[in-house]
Amino acid sequence: MASKRIEKTLMTALLIAGGLLMMIPFIWMITSSFKPENEFTAIPPTLLPKDFTFQNYVDLFVKMDFLVYLRNTLIIVFFGFIGLMLNAIAGYAFAKFEFPGNKKLFYLVLATMMIPGQVTMIPVYLIINAMGLTNTMAGIVLPGLVGAFGIFLFRQFMTTIPMDLIEAARLDGAGELRIFFRLIVPITKPVFAVQGILTFIGAWNSFLWPLIMANDQSLYTLSVGLQLLKGQHGSDFGLQMAGAAFMVVPIIIIFSFFQKHIIEGYTISGMK
């Protein structure tokens, strides 16, 4: 018993030490975002700011138009959640409706998961360009509304819902939309939770497609704006740290609070 206790204590200490070492760059980024510019050249470097200032964040939103980038990113997040509902509807159709080519179409959807996004980027761009939607928010949002992974996740969970519940609702006179929103959606809350988190993270970090699709700086997202900041203000380390902290902190907070839902969602959906 004593040896096991010592082993457990050593493992815990090693894990804590490793975690702290991994957190040092992140902590330094957060604290450095509140430093004035002259402290970045101090030797030896300081972890905590001597003269605490919010000026880096003020400059971030005044000089760099990060409010515009934030608005565009939130628009993408909003439409991402609309796409989340479309994924759920498609998953429900594949799981509970019998129609010609059901399985073949679902396998075709699954097959698209094996195709790298870089391969389909040029055809998608040509389609969006033919529709006249380049350099528009619609062109940025539309290709990401529906995804094979989301459809697969919802379908896997919804196949476990007994058909007796749906048939009973139909006998009571409920329409298909009412059955979906009043019966299926509450049951599938765990999958909505995990997909909602992943949708937010993906939309918040959207970089490559908005960079390709948008020629106007007013359509840039936070990730594109951060890259622009790095190019235009490469020597302004405080401004860069403020931009990086503003990008990373919301993701860290959301993942910290909802990581349990991510694990539960994968487990319930049968993913290993």
Can you give the pLDDT at residue 174? 83
Can you give the pLDDT at residue 233? 65
Nearest 10 degrees: Cα torsion 45, 223, 72, 125: 170
One-letter amino acid for residue 26 of the chain = F
Can you give the pLDDT at residue 271? 46
Domains and CATH numbers, the chain: 65-233 (1.10.3720.10)
- Over residues 165-173, mean pLDDT: 87
Tens of pLDDT, residue by residue over 60-91, are 888 777 888 889 999 999 999 999 999 999 99
- Whether the CB-CB separation of 169 and 186 falls below 8 Å is answered with no
Mean pLDDT over each residue of the chain, to the nearest integer = 84
Contacts 24+ apart (CB under 8 A), 26-30: 26/248, 26/252, 29/241, 29/244, 29/245, 29/248, 30/241, 30/245, 30/249
- Whether the CB-CB separation of 256 and 67 falls below 8 Å is answered with no
Phi-psi region of 65 (alpha: psi -120 to 50; beta: other; left: phi over 0): left
pLDDT band, very low/low/confident/very high, at 272 (cuts 50, 70, 90): very low
Can you give the pLDDT at residue 47? 75
Tens of pLDDT, residue by residue over 16-44, are 888 888 888 888 888 888 888 777 777 77
> Which residue is listed with tokens 């990113």?
73
- Whether the CB-CB separation of 29 and 241 falls below 8 Å is answered with yes
> Which of 230, 252, 222, 268 is closest to 69 using CA atoms?
222
Tens of pLDDT, residue by residue over 119-129, are 888 889 999 99
Tens of pLDDT, residue by residue over 132-166, are 888 899 999 998 888 888 899 899 888 888 888 88
How many Å apart are CA 84 and CA 68, to the nearest integer? 24
- Whether the CB-CB separation of 134 and 211 falls below 8 Å is answered with no
Tell me the whole-structure pTM to 2 decimals: 0.83
Can you give the pLDDT at residue 86? 92
One-letter amino acid for residue 31 of the chain = T
Neighbour tally for 250: CB within 10 Å: 14
How many Å apart are CA 29 and CA 161, to the nearest integer? 46
